Every structure is written in C-alpha cells, then in structure tokens.
C-alpha cells in the first residue's frame, strides 16, 4: 500500500491499494470532483455562521482506497472510506462508491396527425441489470453525453439502429438544469438526481428529446418494439404511453425523476 497526496489537497493523506498508481487515481475525474465537492462543503461549516455543524466542524482526515476496477488502463470504479470527524471524535459515515455521473433520456414521440396534442409515447429499455438481480429491468435509456454533447452508449445505439433516431446535441433539453437552475447545485453538487447519496457519488441529469412521427410509423414500432427478444437482443426497446410511464417504470429512479421534472415544468409552461 502507498500513501499519496492530491496536489489541490496536500494535507489529506490518501492510501492506495496495490496495483493502483497515483497517476491513475489523479486522472479519475470522479475522485477529483468528489474530493473538491466534499472539501468545499466542509469549508462552509466555518464560513457560514448558521451552519448546524459550525460549533464543532468536521474535517476530512484521510482517504483509504479499498478497491478499484479498471476499464482498460483507466479507473472505472473506486470503493473508498473517508475519515470525516470533528474534535469530539464524532464521525460521519464515509463508505463511498465512486463511478461519476451518467445521463438519462426521456425520449417522447408524438403522432404528427394532430388528433390529440396530449398523446405522447415514451421509449424505455428492458435489459439485464445484475446489480438489481434482474434480467428484464425496465428503465429510461441511460448512458453518457460525450465531449461533443451527443448521447452515447448502448441504449443510444439501440435507438438509432432499431428506429433510425439519432439524437443530436441541439435536440436535447436538460430538464434537470431547467428545474434546478441557479439553486440546484448546492455546495458544488451536480445538477441531477442522486439515486443513492448515502453511498454513491453518481448523479443523473435528465435530458428530454421530443419528436413528431407519423402515426402509421408509431403503430409499426409498437409491434416491433415488443418482439426483439426473439432475436436474442440484450436490450429491448419498449414504447409506453406517457400517462403510464410512472407505473411501468416505477422501479427505476430515473424514470420517476423524469416524470416529476417534466410534469412540474409543464405546469409552469416551460415544456
């Protein structure tokens, strides 16, 4: 095991397990972002007189990296324990799984015949999620937004391959940014839903893409999207009515967050 220090936080010792180098750690953006966000939050204890922890502020004493997973040469996941305590030796829970942010897409399809302006259909994915113990987990398409702002990942490829829908940056609307605005970050936090803030740094901005399609095409897709498992697909695309989304995708936190954001912004006339 090796002890190193982050250049921006030299007073905090960081213990590395065998096999993980200092360069790999420092190049893992989720770690640097988490450390910066946490230290900023801890600083606010002394700069904000009304802070509940101001009389006995907590400090980050050390970080111990317990395990890691590599995606090729770079770090993909980290498991660590942060020693956060005050002068009374009171501690805060510090077990953390770092994986960084992801993104979810609310893809809404509207029949273009104008018969019912409220008629909307949403694309969901059905796929294996071993962590949830499921081989058929129903959720919003999820993945990453690359440096060019394009939605990338397996779910995005499935949408493009099966429906011919390619989602460009200019066609995205960030519902999380729209809803949270200037107040949404809070101490440097990412603007998005945190599925498990007690143990994981992941936050998920919710993007929306809305597109009008011919009703005949929509009917064609409805049948097609339920039969892909016969072809051995690991991901099946599923089309559901917007009014049923909260129920069909009710196990998925991203889906419920998307419903809440969309309905709230719609009440305000912003989407």
Mapped to the 3 state alphabet, what secondary structure does 196-264 carry?
CCCCECCCECEEEEEEEECHHHHHHHHHHCCCHHHHCCCCEEEEEEHHHHHHHCCCCHHHHHHHHHHHH
Same domain (yes/no): 132, 252:
yes
Distance CA 60, CA 13 (A): 10
Same domain (yes/no): 79, 137:
no
Give whole-number Cα distances, 20 to 23, 26, 70, 74, in Å.
8, 11, 9, 10
Same domain (yes/no): 204, 251:
yes
Q: How many domains does the chain have?
A: 2
Same domain (yes/no): 48, 181:
no
Domain end position, chosen among 98, 122, 141: 98
Task: Quote the pLDDT of residue 153.
Answer: 79
Domain end position, chosen among 98, 123, 144: 98
Q: Which residues of the chain register pLDDT less than 50?
A: none
Task: Quote the pLDDT of residue 188.
Answer: 61
pLDDT in tens, 212-269: 999 999 988 887 888 766 667 788 999 999 999 999 999 999 999 999 999 999 999 9
Q: Residues near 199 by Cβ (< 8 Å), separated by ≥ 6?
A: 95, 96, 97
Same domain (yes/no): 75, 157:
no
Same domain (yes/no): 72, 171:
no
The enclosing domain of 218 has a CATH number of: 3.90.79.10
Task: Quote the pLDDT of residue 151.
Answer: 74
Distance CA 214, CA 219 (A): 9
Domain end position, chosen among 70, 98, 126: 98
Same domain (yes/no): 132, 230:
yes
Same domain (yes/no): 33, 165:
no
Task: Quote the pLDDT of residue 186.
Answer: 57
Domain that holds residue 243: 103-267
Q: Is this prediction's pTM over 0.85?
A: yes
Q: What is the mean pLDDT of the chain?
A: 90
Same domain (yes/no): 83, 108:
no
């Amino acid at each position: 095991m090796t002890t190193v220090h982050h250049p921006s936080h030299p007073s905090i010792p960081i213990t590395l397990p065998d096999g993980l180098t200092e360069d790999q750690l420092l190049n893992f953006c989720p770690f640097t972002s988490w450390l910066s966000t946490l230290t900023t939050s801890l600083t606010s204890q002394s700069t904000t007189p009304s802070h509940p922890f101001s009389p006995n502020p907590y400090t980050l004493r050390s970080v111990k990296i317990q395990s890691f997973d590599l995606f090729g040469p770079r770090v993909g996941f980290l498991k660590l324990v942060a020693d956060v305590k005050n002068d009374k030796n009171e501690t805060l829970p510090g077990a953390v799984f770092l994986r960084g942010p992801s993104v979810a897409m609310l893809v809404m399809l509207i029949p273009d015949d104008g018969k019912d302006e409220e008629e909307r259909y949403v694309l969901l994915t059905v796929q294996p999620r071993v962590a949830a113990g499921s081989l058929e987990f129903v959720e919003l398409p999820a993945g990453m937004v690359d440096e060019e702002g394009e939605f990338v990942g397996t779910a995005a490829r499935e949408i493009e391959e099966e429906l011919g829908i390619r989602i460009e940056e200019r066609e995205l609307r960030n519902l999380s940014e729209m809803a949270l605005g200037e107040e949404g970050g809070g101490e440097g936090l990412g603007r998005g839903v945190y599925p498990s803030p007690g143990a994981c740094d992941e936050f998920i901005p919710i993007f929306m893409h809305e597109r009008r399609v011919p009703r005949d095409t929509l009917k064609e897709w409805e049948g097609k999207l339920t039969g892909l498992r016969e072809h051995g697909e690991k991901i099946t695309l599923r089309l559901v009515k917007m009014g049923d989304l909260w129920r069909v995708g009710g196990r998925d936190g991203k889906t419920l967050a998307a419903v809440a954001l969309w309905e709230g912004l719609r009440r305000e006339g912003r989407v």
